[in-house]
Structure 1
């Protein structure tokens, strides 16, 4: 399907359920998609950071897109990450995911090799030239070690190279610069500005963001859809209360012992444990070499779910 311009609402970065031997668990993936669709989300983003895209083989990436595209059947916009180190590798992914049914692609700046802002702009222009679907820029400096400059993004938006921005930079001032520029520049039209922060969606929408891509929406899609609706209706008190409930639920990402695992293992493990405890996926394992949660840590995830009224 053609993605809306701008794309608005809640677009979860879909977790990738795995079997105990770390293959894609397609039945669990499709149950998760149904869980999200029934929760009222406005789009789906596969092969993002929360999808563990960096750990998936090319074969597994294609399988995810094919399975979700076939199951959704055009009911919702389907975004697919084409995240890789360099432009030629990204273009290869574009070819694969669009053939598999993606309605838009999501790309970071190049990484490993150091790049200049002019080279980042060229990267996106080359991707757009090779892509039959819209390209959305993904700003995640914690992972790629480059901050997408606001002026570069706005210039690329003005020339039609990128159709949107998913901002996971944590830089609210920079995010505001993009939102303001997208609204004030007459040469920028139909450009989507989406926040990747679970904790600041009410603030981002108040600034003028179009929507959100929250990983925690895998666990509680209805909560994030409700938050989006409350923000758009102007009910600030109810929106604040819902955002604060979701912030408390987000505390589950801290259950992992930092002495034996990184923050990514803890967060992704918690999301999958929550989906497992809610009966959505069959197995909560994360991709290697991430360290799995212990039974006690999974139990603590359950307490967060109970506290949020989800068990």
Structure 2
């Protein structure tokens, strides 16, 4: 089965639960993984930015990846996030991380360095040559400070071992250009929960979602309906989630989605600095939404 078929639908950018002492809460992580698989999401993404990876040390990352594979036990595909702004360090990570059971590596475009488009291209070219698994590009200029242009993406799509992209620029014109020009076997998925429905309508194959951590069944039903061209049903579900998207991203990700999950009894409402929990007023909106 091709990666485009394996990763069609809803992928979830897994949060990392923490205890009140801010240690990784593996029991809660297990509950979250089971909740997502029982909610019928198509695949999981571990060590994405939603997992607070900038505040995880190397051993914690390795432990999370190993635990995730053990808990998932082959029930759904798993993508591992290995991204950053030090190309040489990422090459080392690609060889050191346990990737045998992964179907792909999701790698965010370099943040803070703000490389040129040629720098972004050369960065990914090196990663693709070194990675034991197919690379999924990740364009998220709101976090990285630099948009990966459609032209750069299309150049990268021609390279061996670059198999797809999570597109979170929010630029619909750029997305439509990509959908028009990418190779037939290239996987293009949304990285914006609130735009997933219209982007699938334009031709994307699914989404890597934050919101699905808290609403796996509803969100994945919406995505499946969209992929089946049943946009009336998809819109009905999406309309009920619009307010949740607004609340989740009003202050910080993953503080927003963690507040929802804490109220659902899945995790403790704990994040690591510099992220802080939702403000009292916004958290009250979480409770109101869930009690509707």
TM, length-normalised to structure 1: 0.88
CA contact (8 A) 2:107 2:138 kept: yes
Show the counterpart of 2:198: 203
Deviation at 1:32, TM superposition (A): 0.2
The residue number in structure 2 matching 1:277 is 263
Q: What runs of 5+ residues in structure 1 fail to find an aligned partner? A: 183-187, 256-262
Distance verdict in 2 for CA 1:98–1:152, change over 3 Å:
farther
1:181-260 to structure 2, matched below 5 A, reads 181-182=181-182, 188-253=183-248
**1:292: Cα distance to partner?**
2.2
Q: Residue 59 of structure 2: SS of its match in structure 1? A: helix
* Counterparts of 1:92 and 1:148, CA distance in 2: 24
Partner of 2:11: 11
1:101 Cα deviation from its structure 2 partner: 4.0
2:175 match: secondary structure: helix
Which structure 2 residues correspond to residues 72-91 of structure 1 after superposition, within 5 A?
Answer: 72-91=72-91
Across the two proteins, how many residue pairs are aligned to each other?
A: 291
Matched with 1:125 is: 125
Q: Is the 8 A contact 2:188 2:205 kept in 1?
A: yes
8 Å Cα contact 2:213-2:257 kept in structure 1: yes
Q: CA deviation at 1:269?
A: 1.9
Alpha-carbon distance in 2 for matches of 1:109, 1:277 = 33
Q: Structure 1 residue 234: deviation in Å?
A: 2.4
* CA root-mean-square deviation: 1.9
Deviation larger for 102-111 or 133-142: 102-111
Deviation at 1:278, TM superposition (A): 1.1
Out of 290-299 and 205-214, give the one that drifted further: 290-299
1:114–1:214 distance in 2 versus 1, CA, 3 Å = closer
Q: Cα gap change, 1:305/1:3 in structure 2, threshold over 3 Å: closer, same or farther?
A: farther
Q: 1:306 aligned to 2:291?
A: yes
Structure 2 alignment gaps of length 5 or more: none
Q: Secondary structure at the match of 1:84?
A: coil
Mark the CA change 1:294 to 1:236 in structure 2 (over 3 Å): closer, same or farther.
Answer: closer
Residues 248, 113 of structure 1: alpha-carbon distance in 2 compared, 3 angstrom cutoff: closer
- Deviation digits for residues 235-261 of structure 1 (CA, Å, limit 9, x no counterpart): 222211111111122232267xxxxxx
**Which deviates more from structure 2 when the two are superposed, residues 170-179 or residues 208-217?**
170-179
